Amino acid sequence: MKKIGIILQLLVLCYCLSAQDQTLVNFVAEQQEKLIYNPEKLVQAPNTNVFMIPPEHFIADPSINGFVHPGSACTIQVIEIPNVSYNIIENSMAPEYIISQNYSFVEKLYVKTENNKNGVIYFVRFNSGDMEFERAMFFTGDKNTIWINFNYPLSMKNLLYPAIEACLKSVQ
């Protein structure tokens, strides 16, 4: 009789663990689906001619020509530089220059946007108060440069990076 009780308990435990595992699988799948490019989700950044898909829960903020995430200290600022190719800016963004601006250079990454435009992301770090931040500075545009500054607490990078990358690649 004890063996039957133990077997039943093990079956119930296995069922519960399986249900939790499926819930996690569904959650991850839902989050991944949100990162898939969908041009119907493009929104215009305030006070600019730039369209992008900001991450979930970011709201438009005209004071920074971009978007903010309330409560997390994350911001997306959009800057347009007319009549200048991003390549000109890229050529002047040596790590030494970045360091001279009181940032720590982390890395440079080449990307293609969802509409097949070339771009580059510079990752830099800086401190604000007691918190360390990282900034992804994204540049694209052959005739007119689109410059996006995506600021976030460094401690949140692993959580945010897939959404940051999807957002930057959506820029038009």
Is-contact 55 166, C-beta < 8 A?
yes
Top pLDDT among 145 and 28 is at 145
Per-chain mean pLDDT for the chain: 87
**Burial letters for 127-147: b for 16+ Cβ neighbours within 10 Å, e otherwise?**
eeeeeebbbbbbbbbeeebbb
Top pLDDT among 26 and 108 is at 108
Short-list 74, 78, 77, CA closest to 159: 74
User: What's residue 37's pLDDT?
Assistant: 86
Span 129-143, average pLDDT? 95
Decide yes or no: CATH 3.90.1150.30 for domain 38-169: no
Is-contact 91 146, C-beta < 8 A?
no
Question: Over 70: is that where the pLDDT of 161 sits?
Answer: yes
Span 16-31, average pLDDT? 56
Question: Over 80: is that where the pLDDT of 102 sits?
Answer: yes
Q: Domain extents for the chain?
A: 1-34, 38-169
71 Rama sector, left if φ>0, alpha if ψ -120 to 50, beta otherwise: left
Short-list 143, 91, 163, CA closest to 122: 91
> Which residues does 44 contact at the CB level (< 8 Å), separation at least 6?
50, 51
Top pLDDT among 28 and 70 is at 70
> Each residue of 106-132: pLDDT tens digit?
999 999 999 999 999 999 999 998 999
How do beta strands 131-140 and 43-44 pair? Answer: unpaired
Question: Over 90: is that where the pLDDT of 159 sits?
Answer: no
Span 94-117, average pLDDT? 95
